[in-house]
Amino acid sequence: MKFAEADINGGYLIQGYGSGRVVINERVYTDGLIVSPEQLIIGWGPATMPEMSAEHFDALIMLAPQVIILGTGARQIFPDPALYFSIMERGIGLEVMDTGAACRTYNILMAEGRAVAAGLILN
């Protein structure tokens, strides 16, 4: 899906997504990544949700977001609650959804000026 009227001047914006890929600021990515308004970290994350570890969440926490969006691939798959306990302890919001919904939600929160970080699995 391609988003209309994308403005790349305000930070890292997701302009489109599809099976196994995402477009950010006119560049196509095919590996898992973290995106926030100020940072793009490529090569992040597990290939699939069963491989999700605390270290993957730690990489998101390091960005000090108010909200973490976790895009779990083609389907919404919740990680083991023990893995994201440290997020809840810090008072950081966590939303888990399929990657398409995560892309849309990230853009909305970014446009609102929120401190958001999205971890996207692109399988």
For 27-86, what is each residue's pLDDT tens digit? 999 999 999 999 999 999 898 888 999 999 999 999 999 999 999 999 999 999 988 888
Question: What number of other Cβ atoms are within 10 A of residue 72's Cβ?
Answer: 23
Contact 107, 87 (CB under 8 A): no
Rounded percentage of the chain residues whose pLDDT exceeds 70: 92
Return phi, psi of residue 55, to 5°.
-65, -35
For 96-122, what is each residue's pLDDT tens digit? 999 999 999 999 999 999 999 999 999
Q: Could you give the residue ranges of the DSSP H alpha helices within the chain? A: 54-61, 85-89, 99-111
Give strand pairing partners of 59: none
Superfamily of domain 31-120: MTH938-like (3.40.1230.10)
> Looking up tokens 């403005």, which residue turns up?
7
Domain definitions of the chain by residue range: 31-120
